[in-house]
Amino acid sequence: MTKGKVYLVGAGPGDAKLITIKGLECIKKADVVVYDRLASPRLLRQMKPGARKIYVGKRTERHTMKQEDINKLLVELALEGHIVVRLKGGDPTVFGRVGEEAEELRRNGIEYEIVPGITSSIAVPAYAGIPVTHRNLASSFSVITGHENPEKLDKMIKWDKVTNATGTLVFMMGVAQIGHITAQLLKHGRPASTPVALIRWGTRAEQETLTGTLADIAETVAARDFKPPAVIVVGDVVGQRERLHWAEQMPLFGRRILVTRSRSQASELVDRIEELGGEPYEFPVIETVITEKDEQLEPIRQAFAKIESYDWVFFTSVNGVDYFFRHLEREGLDIRSLHRARIAAVGPATIEALKLRGIRSEAPPENFDAEGMIAAYGQHLLPGQRALLPRGDLARSWLPEALRERGLEVAELDTYETVLTGEDDEELLDLLHDDKIHAVTFTSSSTVRNLLAVLERMGEKNAAELLNRASIACIGPQTAKTAEEAGLNVDLLAEEATIEGLIRCLCDWKAASDRDNPNS
């Protein structure tokens, strides 16, 4: 059997987008990803279908797997012929024990590469508005481990040399030893007034910063029950935070928002959340596929055979546009076939999708739903006219029924199907149970039904109750109605049924929360 290869990859400090391009490429081609808790769960969504993921993370009071066993696991997986990624938080060469893993691989003749990552020692302070060097304050910095007991720290660290060796001292994973660290720095000459900052879960939604001085920071940490993991920064550069703390100023800072939209459509919502400082957690629960069943294709063929006879074509979604034109191409037709019909569309995204195909729709209705269409075009909808409705298999029946009541002849075409997707995701369940998902977004009724179905499939007995621990945000009234009928408490409803309307709603929610809890 051909041996595999191991990539020892730095995942960066936590924000999924801070991984390197090469690191991301390794994840995408891996057969197995061996990861710890400091690697963003979002990165695991980049794995190819069928790839395995193995959690070996360490926690303060419990080791899931000993380092020696991790080393052996990497060797075994490679000997089985797999492409393996060992995904480690930050940079693998900065207190990442990559040397031990690489040495074991070399001893066993396993090919490997070390892929550097952005180290938390500089990235986490940067997200808190603290540059580790500054022209007028610190021309050098040291990175020091703090993750050992005091006796071992004293053997490893020459405090008399380290204390004043550089302008800035960065201690990694030293929260539990903050009292001992500050005592040693004071003992060896650092002034008691020296500024200190602890940044917990830097670059993530949970990011929290605690500041003080060498004289009082240990007491403050104890009083606040400030828990690891955190980066400790000691030096005058900490004072820059007052002017440079940029991340906390962003509209959605500190909020992790679940995005349930299909992967093909989620990018706009995900990008906007990130642009505004939030942390999107993608968990697509629906996917759309083109209709292939004979019993559904036959009505489409019949409708297209007389397509030039229709007076109206109603599009109620971007998917409706996309799949209609796929079927149109299949039948050897193009937009000239619609020269006679008046084209109506709901919502700016649907209107834009038509524009991209060279079609300008009727003046848009004020309300972005089927009811808005009838209100806008009602006087032009006449008995005897023929209307074509290309849409999905789960579309509401309200619009065709309203058209028939006005005497129109209506052809409903199921041009695509909405199917349940979403792999089991233990990380998501953990986040929901730990109240670390702050808002759940729904952009259609099918995302509501399918998320509940997936959670129940994963063994959650009362999925609605679990989701209600977060704020429920819906894009429009129909989605909200479905959510409420399913037992969800709809906290946020976009005034305009668009992605941008949903984003504005989330920003208002965060701003209101900040006003109500100014010290949170």
- 184 shares a domain with 303: no
Q: Rounded to the nearest 5°, which phi and psi values hold at 115?
A: -110, 105
Among 92, 118, 144, where does a domain finish? 118
Classify 235 as helix, strand or coil. Answer: coil
Cα–Cα distances in angstroms (integers) from residue 355 to residues 318, 329, 343, 436, in the given order: 11, 17, 11, 40
- 314 shares a domain with 333: yes
- 508 shares a domain with 362: no
- 303 shares a domain with 192: no
Q: Whole-angstrom Cα distance, residue 299 to residue 294?
A: 9
Among 420, 436, 458, where does a domain finish? 420
156 given a catalytic annotation? no
- 430 shares a domain with 309: no
Among 391, 420, 449, where does a domain finish? 420
Asked whether residue 42 carries a pLDDT value surpassing 90, the answer given is no
173 given a catalytic annotation? yes
Of the listed 3, 22, 58, 72, which one is catalytic? 58
Tens of pLDDT along 312-353? 999 988 999 999 999 999 989 888 888 899 999 988 889 999
- 409 shares a domain with 459: no
Q: What is the pLDDT of residue 511?
A: 95
pLDDT confidence of 296, banded at 50, 70, 90? confident
- 197 shares a domain with 342: no
Mean pLDDT for 194-219 is 96
Classify 391 as helix, strand or coil. Answer: strand
Mean pLDDT for 280-289 is 88
Tell me the whole-structure pTM to 2 decimals. 0.84
- 416 shares a domain with 294: yes
Tens of pLDDT along 244-277? 999 999 999 999 999 998 777 778 899 999 999 9
CB neighbourhood size of 24 (10 A): 16
Mean pLDDT for 141-148 is 90
- 435 shares a domain with 504: yes
Q: Whole-angstrom Cα distance, residue 298 to residue 292?
A: 10
Which residues constitute the domain of residue 442?
256-285+421-516
Strand order in the sheet with 312-315: 286-290, 409-420, 386-392, 312-315, 342-345
Asked whether residue 62 carries a pLDDT value surpassing 80, the answer given is no
47 given a catalytic annotation? no
Both structure tokens of 11:
């995942």
CATH number reported for the structural domain that contains residue 12 in this entry: 3.40.1010.10
pLDDT confidence of 519, banded at 50, 70, 90? low
- 219 shares a domain with 143: yes
Of the listed 36, 91, 369, 414, which one is catalytic? 36
Cα–Cα distances in angstroms (integers) from residue 53 to residues 34, 101, 138, 157, 369, in the given order: 6, 18, 42, 36, 42
Residue type, 448: V
pLDDT confidence of 422, banded at 50, 70, 90? low
Q: What is the pLDDT of residue 329?
A: 92
Q: What is the pLDDT of residue 1?
A: 64
How many domains does the chain contain in total? 4
Of the listed 5, 47, 172, 173, which one is catalytic? 173
